[in-house]
Amino acid sequence: LGRRLDTLIESAVPAVRKAVKWNTPFYGVESGRWFLAFHCFTKYVKVTFFDGTSLEPPPPGTSKQATVRYLDIYEGAFDEAQFRDWVEQASRLPGERL
């Protein structure tokens, strides 16, 4: 699933920049600013949209941080079209410095 997400992100945002921090892939458009990251756990993948509250509709998972929203993807429960739409929206936002 991690490889599939990477492929979807690259196809949605051809100019995407990538980095790995804390064993987590980060994606951004502008140097040093990130709009998305994901982390693979044993039973699911957690996608972090750093400005997720600006997405329409916002991803379902809330965070202690005001603008962050999460998407937990479990086997067999993945809406690729919605994910791609969120990635495209997120890539147009300023991104987060980490």
Burial of 92 (0-12, 13-18, 19+ CB in 10 A): exposed
Cα–Cα dist 40/30, whole Å: 24
Q: In 3D, which of 70, 74, 50 has the Cα closest to residue 62?
A: 70
Instruction: Determine the structural domain holding residue 80 and report its residue range.
Output: 2-91
Report the percentage of the chain scoring pLDDT > 90: 85
41 lies in some domain? yes
Backbone angles phi, psi at 63, to 5 degrees: -140, 165
Q: Which residues pair with 38 in a beta bridge?
A: 47
49 lies in some domain? yes
72 lies in some domain? yes
Number of domains in the chain: 1
How sure is the predictor about 39, in pLDDT bands with cuts at 50, 70 and 90? very high
Residue 2: per-residue pLDDT: 87
User: pLDDT tens, 15-29?
Assistant: 999 999 988 999 999
Mean pLDDT of the chain: 94
98 lies in some domain? no
CATH number for the domain that contains residue 61: 3.90.1150.200
User: pLDDT tens, 77-94?
Assistant: 789 999 999 999 999 999
